[in-house]
Structure 1
Amino acid sequence: MANNDYEKRKVDLSDDGQIDSGIDSYRSLNKDYQSVPAAQDPKAEDSEREDGEGNDDKLDNASGERVDSAYSSSSLITDSLNEIIQSCSISEKPAAESPESYSEQEVSLLTTVTEDGDTILHLAIIHKEEDFAHQLIELFPKEVLDIQNNLYQTPLHLATYLDSPAVVQRLLQKQAGLALQDQEGNTALHVACQQGRSECATLITSLAPPRLLRVAMETQNWRGQTCLHLATQRRNLRMVKLLLKKGAQLNVQDGTSGKTALHLAVELQDVELARLLLNRGANVDAAMFNGCTALHLAVGRHHGPTTRLLCQSGADRMLKNTEDETALDLADGNENILAIFPFDDIQISGRSVVEMKF
């Protein structure tokens, strides 16, 4: 995408004071040196103008192509990063050595922040230079590991998105922040659930302290979605089971419409996923903000299998939404759906027909 369009995509939350980018902590790595923006390669700049929209996106792990503009922030190309790696001889120094022992050139490179807010660690992760990333993780203090770029992505966000479990593990072992949110309000665990990064999700849920994991699972992104909502939307049974095993709140409503994970599974007409949620204790009669239960959604979509499952699970067929409609009202005369409902739903003067004696 052209640079102007890319700049418009950035969301600056600094005025709200919601997130500490950590840049000040990063600069304190060595107080004698200041962070300097990395120079833009003129050839890369020309290439961006020529290639157009797809040029700012990150490299996809499988195809090598650029992907997902929401995760595009690097202004350095791979060749530039390789030059930096060759210039930094940190691998030749003991890991425990203090930052002051490095040369001025090395400190200058290590404390560089690009115009997009990426540190050298962000760039190493973006370009899959895992060995170099591991060295930087060992070198940097926690405050530096939690620096967020202009899109509020931490190295942990990027390592999860790009499916680099070894880097995710190193970051978690160094206590990288799990509750930090990117520009869409997603924590790293949200990213794992949204992108289907099962191995990264397993590492996060197993290595994170219980309190911080609970915070991450209960956090809603800016669309009001928790990790369980995202895993359900992706129809990822394995991820849903993992989250529930780790204590995710099963009946939490999203902040936009009030849907629970069960509502989402029914909307997707995924009987297996809906059954899993019900078996784990999902509230079959949970209502959205408009009063609709999962049964309203199933009947409204004329989907027999989920309607039958919900009825078998004890769904209240007489509950009304804010439009004063029961699930039966939404059947709209569909004989296949009506046949699922037992006759004891037919009432006269408020009493079920099967209870009346003639």
Structure 2
Amino acid sequence: MDLYRASRTGPMDFNTENRGPKAGKTASSNDDRLDSGLDSLKEEEYIEVAADLGRLRVQCAPQSSAEPQQDGAEWKREVTEDGDTYLHLAVIHEAPDMAIKMIDMSINDPFLNQQNYQRQTALHLAVVTVQPQVVDRLLRAGSDPTLVDNSGNTPLHIACRIGSLACFSLLTQNCPDQLQTILQMPNYNGQKCLHLVAMHGYLSLLENLISLGADINAQEQCNGRTALHLAVDLQNRDLVKLLISKGADVNSQTYGGHTAYHLTYGRDDEEIKKMLFDLTAGDLRDLSDTESEDSEDDYGDDEELESEDDDDDDEPYDDIRVMGQK
């Protein structure tokens, strides 16, 4: 299937992991741009792109050298108005044979890590579209798994968010030197990989992350919630039990001073509430009437801040100088 025909097909099939459309205009997300590439080209440019990519269908000997290939290929320098290379386009429109051909012609070449205008590499897009074969080939050819898109997500963050076990396994097994760094990297929402799998309730991925060395008590940077706080927020009993069995700290507090038990107030699952009540330190169980919602106070008490500002206004400034004089 060439890229031109791929761009002309209707809504794409649902993937085998039953998480919605693989790619195309039927899927929309603030984090992943799946409607780029050929969709942005003019009608007359479709033929030209297809012809250019067709010229790449050549027989080439496998490259064994560890050095980047210096073939001066013009196609490596071509980009669309979205900043997509031909490799980006092949991945977006799910033409794996063509993508793999380009990858094999670009081993250890910076071309593999070129980012489009949303800072997505071909590896990001291969994970977004759930193409494990392309993910594997990109990693083996020298793609950098630590690069982030314009939401601060590495490819592993994306695999954790969409719950792709195949892509997750490839990314964790093929980048051992960078793995611990990636596990500690928050995206621009302050969320690490562990938080993303907790938010979506992927139990097996969470177990894998913990076994790989992810900090089970890591706090989101925005409000200080741990995976256990998130599990309670979602009322995911199985996830709460799993986290507790793995040693999650039930006494960990958000930046607003709330434990996971505090988040059970007003929630329906009495089993979660009882479980956390029994485990939480006695002096951390009570929640004042004015702090019934964690989200209301995690960023501080606005009225208190305003009061402090008012107090400051009452004090005249006595250290202002004009032309050296008070």
TM-score range (shorter-chain normalised) is 0.7 to 0.9
Give CA-to-partner distance per residue, 1:108-165, whole Å, 9 cap, x none.
2332111111111111101111011111111113421111110000111000010000
Of 194, 202, 205 in structure 1, the residue corresponding to residue 169 of structure 2 is 202
1:318 is aligned to 2:283: yes
Of 120, 128, 134 in structure 2, the residue corresponding to residue 161 of structure 1 is 128
AA paired with 2:136?
Q
- 1:238: how far off? 1.4
After superposing on structure 2, the runs of 4+ consecutive aligned residues of structure 1 that deviate more than 6 Å are: none
AA paired with 2:190?
G
Contact in 2 for aligned 1:185/1:222 (Cα 8 Å) = yes
1:71 is aligned to 2:30: no
Structure-2 residue corresponding to 1:175: 142
TM-score by length of 2: 0.74
- 1:300: how far off? 4.1
- 1:174: how far off? 1.8
TM-score by length of 1: 0.68
How many residues are aligned here? Answer: 266
Of 54, 78, 86 in structure 2, the residue corresponding to residue 86 of structure 1 is 54
Structure-2 residue corresponding to 1:212: 178
Provide the identity percentage: 33
Contact in 1 for aligned 2:152/2:188 (Cα 8 Å) = yes
- 1:293: how far off? 0.2
- 1:84: how far off? 2.6
CA RMSD of aligned residues (A): 2.8
Structure-2 residue corresponding to 1:8: none
Of 246, 250, 253 in structure 1, the residue corresponding to residue 216 of structure 2 is 250
AA paired with 2:142?
Q
Give CA-to-partner distance per residue, 1:95-119, whole Å, 9 cap, x none.
33996667xxxx2233211111111
Contact in 2 for aligned 1:217/1:227 (Cα 8 Å) = yes
Q: SS of the counterpart of 2:101?
A: helix
Contact in 2 for aligned 1:296/1:327 (Cα 8 Å) = yes
Residue pairs, 1:112-261, within 5 angstroms:
112-140=78-106, 141-209=108-176, 211-261=177-227
- 1:298: how far off? 1.1
Contact in 2 for aligned 1:153/1:183 (Cα 8 Å) = yes
Structure-2 residue corresponding to 1:14: none
AA paired with 1:260?
T
Structure-1 residue corresponding to 2:304: none
- Structure 1 274/328 Cα, relative in aligned 2: closer, same or farther at 3 Å? farther
- 1:93: how far off? 2.5
- Structure 1 75/199 Cα, relative in aligned 2: closer, same or farther at 3 Å? closer
Give CA-to-partner distance per residue, 1:277-335, whole Å, 9 cap, x none.
111110010000000000000124353121112123x2124227xxxxx2486899xxx
Contact in 1 for aligned 2:183/2:214 (Cα 8 Å) = yes
- 1:65: how far off? 4.5
The answer for unaligned runs of 5 or more in structure 1 is 1-40, 48-57, 321-325, 333-358
Contact in 2 for aligned 1:285/1:293 (Cα 8 Å) = yes
